């Protein structure tokens, strides 16, 4: 911990701050603000009530108006202070609002719920305190089938990632370690597909998926993404660096090609495979366009699609939308936090070596 602190507070100037310290710390502070500002805003907003979200100008922390339960009223009533300047006899007192219409409000005293008094709404001052609207989250589970969406997203991400790693590493093995006629052509074709935007192949892909009966099935999302040119290329570049002599040694050791793949190539490519796994998890989890096209029934929705469905044409359920966005972010952030060190080392070693 002491190391972390001394690292974070390291300065170039000894004793006093060098001008480069000012520049770098300012730069870092701006960077942190740009990176984390939106995320923090999102998290705080997800704890705001719908009323608070609609408020302008917006406030940083979530506030909620105080309410009180009184005999004779079914719902909790909002509590106000009547301003001192009011001409009403209630000036300065705390009241509960029972009704409000056309600029006039009907209130009762907290200790006298039966006597209703009318006064101008402008006289009422809201009593507010910081309060986290956790019901945004709980109602995700009550009103929406959140767990179902979570399962769909997880299933697609895990299966597609595993499938992709398998297919891509086998292709990369063949393209890096076997001499065969047309190898360069195949590689160029694979890389060439990188240049075709997904939107161009969207319609043909959709037709194929429909023909294969995978429309509205999770497999329709998983299978088309099983082989990616980026993955094949990334793994191939790494596998090229594995010396051929090791494979020859394994062949002399009577290992089958299949065994060479599993026992030699895969363990030795682990850093590159880890990188690709992280990328694949992020791609699949955040994928939106293709699932939107293939999955139309609500029970098949992924989290991303569910988020989208909160945004209606006439009104948007911002409270639920924000809460689910936060929940959607969490797994991917966790994965990234645990595996990010592999990205750095993996990418560094997949370059030239």
What the block records as the tokens of 116 is 């209703």
To the nearest whole angstrom, how small is the minimum distance from the Cβ of residue 268 to other proteins? 6
Distances (CA, A) of 97 to 87, 106, 132: 17, 6, 22
Distances (CA, A) of 244 to 85, 129, 260: 89, 69, 12
Can residue 249 be called a binding residue for other proteins (CB under 8 A)?
yes
Can residue 341 be called a binding residue for other proteins (CB under 8 A)?
no
To the nearest whole angstrom, how small is the minimum distance from the Cβ of residue 315 to other proteins? 57
Can residue 181 be called a binding residue for other proteins (CB under 8 A)?
no
Q: Containing H/E element for 155?
A: helix 146-177
Can residue 248 be called a binding residue for other proteins (CB under 8 A)?
yes
- Tell me which of 63, 227, 263, 292 binds other proteins, using CB under 8 A: 263
With DSSP H G I counted as helix, E B as strand and the rest as coil, what are the percentages for the chain, rounded to 5? Answer: 60, 10, 25
- Tell me which of 3, 254, 297, 353 binds other proteins, using CB under 8 A: 254
Q: Is the dihedral of CA 60, 61, 64, 65 positive or negative?
A: negative
Strands 104-109 and 128-130 turn out to be: unpaired
**Which window, 118-126, 136-144, 153-161, 248-256, contacts other proteins (CB under 8 A)?**
248-256
Binding track over 226-245 against other proteins, x by CB under 8 A = -----------------x-x
Can residue 246 be called a binding residue for other proteins (CB under 8 A)?
yes
To the nearest whole angstrom, how small is the minimum distance from the Cβ of residue 254 to other proteins? 4
Query: Which CB sits closer to other proteins, 46 or 269?
Result: 269
Q: Is the dihedral of CA 154, 159, 164, 169 positive or negative?
A: positive
To the nearest whole angstrom, how small is the minimum distance from the Cβ of residue 262 to other proteins? 12
Can residue 183 be called a binding residue for other proteins (CB under 8 A)?
no
- Binding residues for other proteins, total number by CB under 8 A: 17
CB 65 within 8 A of CB 128: yes
The alpha-carbon radius of gyration of the chain (Å, integer) is 30
> Taking the mean position of all CA atoms in its chain, how far away is CA 105?
43
Residues that bind other proteins (CB under 8 A): 243, 245-246, 248-256, 259, 263-264, 267-268
């Amino acid at each position: 911990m002491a190391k972390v602190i001394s690292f974070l507070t390291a300065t170039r100037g000894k004793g006093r701050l060098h001008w480069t310290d000012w520049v770098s710390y300012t730069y870092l502070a701006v960077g942190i603000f740009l990176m984390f500002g939106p995320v923090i805003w999102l998290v705080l907003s997800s704890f705001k009530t719908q009323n608070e979200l609609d408020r302008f100008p917006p406030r940083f922390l979530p506030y909620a108006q105080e309410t009180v339960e009184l005999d004779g009223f079914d719902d909790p009533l909002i509590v106000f202070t009547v301003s001192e300047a009011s001409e009403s006899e209630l000036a300065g007192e705390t009241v509960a609002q029972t009704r409000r219409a056309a600029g006039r409000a009907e209130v009762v005293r907290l200790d006298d719920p039966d006597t209703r008094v009318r006064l101008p709404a402008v006289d009422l001052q809201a009593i507010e305190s910081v309060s986290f609207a956790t019901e945004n989250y709980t109602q995700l589970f009550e009103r929406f089938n959140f767990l179902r969406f979570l399962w769909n997203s997880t299933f697609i991400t895990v299966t597609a990632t595993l499938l992709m790693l398998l297919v891509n590493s086998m292709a990369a093995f063949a393209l890096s370690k076997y001499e065969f006629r047309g190898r360069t052509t195949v590689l160029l074709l694979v890389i060439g597909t990188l240049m075709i935007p997904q939107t161009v192949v969207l319609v043909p892909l959709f037709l194929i998926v429909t023909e294969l009966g995978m429309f509205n099935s999770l497999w329709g999302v998983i299978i088309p993404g099983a082989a990616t040119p980026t993955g094949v290329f990334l793994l191939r570049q790494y596998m090229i660096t594995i010396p051929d002599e090791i494979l020859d040694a394994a062949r002399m050791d009577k290992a089958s090609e299949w065994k060479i793949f599993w026992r030699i190539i895969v363990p030795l490519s682990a850093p590159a495979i880890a990188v690709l796994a992280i990328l694949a998890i992020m791609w699949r989890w955040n994928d939106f366009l293709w699932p939107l096209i293939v999955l139309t029934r609500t029970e098949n929705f992924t989290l991303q699609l569910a988020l989208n469905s909160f945004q209606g044409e006439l009104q948007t359920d911002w409270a639920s939308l924000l809460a689910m966005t936060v929940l959607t972010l969490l797994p991917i952030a966790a994965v990234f936090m645990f595996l990010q060190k592999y990205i750095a080392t993996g990418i560094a070693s997949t370059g030239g070596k």
